[in-house]
Structure 1
């Protein structure tokens, strides 16, 4: 993302003095920045690689500058649960894990792997975050996780030039979006690039439609499997989604093309050198790919509109995020908890916010910390949504159903993309898979 360096000096001063956060007042930081953890080392595990890992390293370095403790990052790849479990069994548990799925956090807690967070961390969560984030970081009323990095998964990214050529503006409703898509298609490129090769993107499509149509309470019921996937609300959402999937004019390459397009490829179809589509639905992280891989200027030749309201529902705000948890079997519990406390502060969030490719659910983070207006707009939308935010439903499910390539919800929605003619049958198959996963 295009960044301005107006806050660079502020960050340096913050790290040196440990006194204030950029644009804010006093910040409670671990051990007061007195270097009392000198000589200690913690290992922090997470899914990040590439640019994300590089930017998170800046946060680790800020923690070291403040406390004296070294922090080493270990990338787990996508299968956090398996990798961390094997490390615990091998006596080599990391001290902190950045957990990307609510279901995995719950699994870790129920396995007895997690340390309840300190009163300092909990106070920060209570005062600086919407209560929904504490809910998703807790198991049976015990707080285990601080959500440090969030994703806004209710954004539709588009090429302003393509929409201008089609004579349409950013839509306010789902029906308007499909109508705009038809105009884009008539102008010579497809309306949407769909990353059907990556099943997780299809779950995100479903979740936004479902949250808007069914409402937050019913969404929560389905997320907890307290209503079945055969519920009429699920069939209704699948029927709505199926109308889009079945329209080969609206989807770049039709169903076959979508099923052979991964997430980066879907962004390329809109923002690459030879555009094939005008819009791509996915989270705020689309901006990073559009900028870093295809040189697009965010806010100028790559923009977004909120995922629009479906039928008579409200516009959805679906989120995801990475929660910092401390492991019981970690070798340095004091420094690990100090690190989690640090991640709960706006000071820590500001480090990555300035680097780009990041959103924080921390209400106390000054929006000026973000390097461009588009990211500020996205972050403000996430914060303003407050407790109406709903966490990615598939991330709340057992991994066997909501987070495994070639299985469960991912595969069944890929099958639905291939043939969207039977929403009831798809709902029944989703229920069968969910029942097995939740029992397991």
Structure 2
């Protein structure tokens, strides 16, 4: 799940991005037959500047879980589009977005555009009958710059509804390079090496802990625990089993899932190993995910498994680099021959059929927006899977590394499993039961409760 960072992005200079938008105005037109699973439309909405006479004075409303201060770079990245088209973008962030968006569909108070971070929630919104299929212009952008797997994540029953927006790599472990160097620790390259290192840290430094973690996230509390299970299952059972589990072709409480949860518990539920800087393992439930890794800077813990976007949660002035205050290594697999990567992202879903909305959706699917957003995110903590994104426009080393991982043909990428499950599970019982689990509930009860909650239709 892609949530909000804690570093304010500086203002973006719109002139640079304007040149990107102007260059994009020369792209080709759509045939408008809708044969690729998108909505047929005769107009090429990638020609934003050419639409200025039609769009000037219009507005587009956005609704998203991305709130202050991370929203600053988003707002700045739209300036070129606003200047080019005369459209005003109205931005609304909400920490309880996942809960409130379906309620707004029921009340008839939907935005023009929503940034949906879960394919499962996308399915829910399509089921309301209010979501509008993507235009053919957006479909072509997705096919050219994202590819088949990302199109699949933004589609429901073969129809593309939403183009990808941002992305993140979740298979990271944050640590202090200096602390590792001082102790002579090496970055592990296999799961066994990771567990050996965990045990060694616990023995070497009883005043600290090998790991720290936080599951707290308001109404979304528990989601970091789901990421742990997904990352480990992807490594121990493989991508095919992972896909079957996400699609409920095998039960949620399958033996392979139970094995993965047991391996997570061997770290998070062991009082010798967690929760550095906070207390007993049960404190993970009440520790926010934003605070979870901060004890690394105080020498109270050594490792924190969290996504690339966590880079923006370090205090102002923290150097995030291989030779810096903090850095992140790839969460190792069972061996070095495989490279599973868990990730997530948001998808641009539209709810109003209007030229200004279609043009804005096309802009967000383009490399022009991806590069504008990269330049606007001066504090780091953002990346996209858009193949047209120039990694040099990403100011943060961790973002550049994430972009390379997403583009690595050897990586086996899978989208966050809970984000693809029905929202009642993926954004419901999976979160709540992982919270109960870290408070002391046993593995079997946890998995059985989630399995029982899976919708029957």
TM-score bracket relative to the smaller structure: 0.7 to 0.9
**Any idea what SS the aligned residue of 1:381 has?**
helix
Deviation string for 1:348-396 (max 9, x for gaps)? Answer: 0112212132110101111111013332111110122588321111111
| Whole-angstrom distance in 2 between the partners of 1:266 and 1:246 | 15
1:126-137 equivalences in 2 (<5 Å): 126-137=143-154
| 1:15-414 matches, cutoff 5 A | 15-16=18-19, 18-20=21-23, 30-34=46-50, 35-36=52-53, 37-80=55-98, 82-188=99-205, 189-197=208-216, 198-251=221-274, 252=276, 253-271=279-297, 274-290=298-314, 293=315, 295-299=317-321, 300-310=324-334, 314-327=338-351, 330=352, 333-354=354-375, 355=377, 356-384=380-408, 388-404=412-428, 408-414=429-435
Range 356-365 or range 84-93, more displaced: 84-93
Provide structure 2 residue ranges, at least 5 long, that are not aligned to the other structure: 29-44
Is contact 1:317–1:389 with CA below 8 Å preserved after alignment? Answer: yes
TM-score w.r.t. the length of structure 2 is 0.85
Deviation readout 1:175-232 (Å, 9 max, x if unpaired)? 1112222233334221111113441111000000001111111111111112102211
Q: How far off is 1:416 after superposition?
A: 2.6
Partner Cα separation in structure 2 for residue 370 and residue 39 of structure 1: 32
State whether residues 171 and 307 of structure 2, in contact with CA within 8 Å, keep that contact through their aligned partners in structure 1: yes
Pair 1:160–1:27, CA change in 2 (3 A): farther
Greater percentage in helix: 1
Give the aligned partner of residue 450 of structure 2.
430
Q: Which runs of 5+ in 1 are unaligned?
A: none
Moved more, 360-369 or 82-91: 82-91
SS for the counterpart of 2:78 is helix
Return closer, same or farther for 1:207/1:132 CA change in 2, 3 Å cut-off. Answer: same
**1:40: how far off?**
0.8
Pairwise CA distance, 1:20: 4.0
Query: Could you tell me whether the CA contact under 8 Å between 2:370 and 2:384 is conserved in 1?
Result: yes
Deviations 1:311-367 (A, max 9, x none): 68833211111100111xx2x621111111001111101122121321101011111
CA RMSD of aligned residues (A): 2.6
Match of 2:37 in 1: none
Distance (Å, rounded) in 1 between the aligned partners of 2:338 and 2:228: 16
In 2, the alpha carbon distance for the partners of 1:368 and 1:20 equals: 19
TM-score (norm 1): 0.88
Distance 1:260 1:162 in 2: 27
Deviation at 1:242, TM superposition (A): 1.9
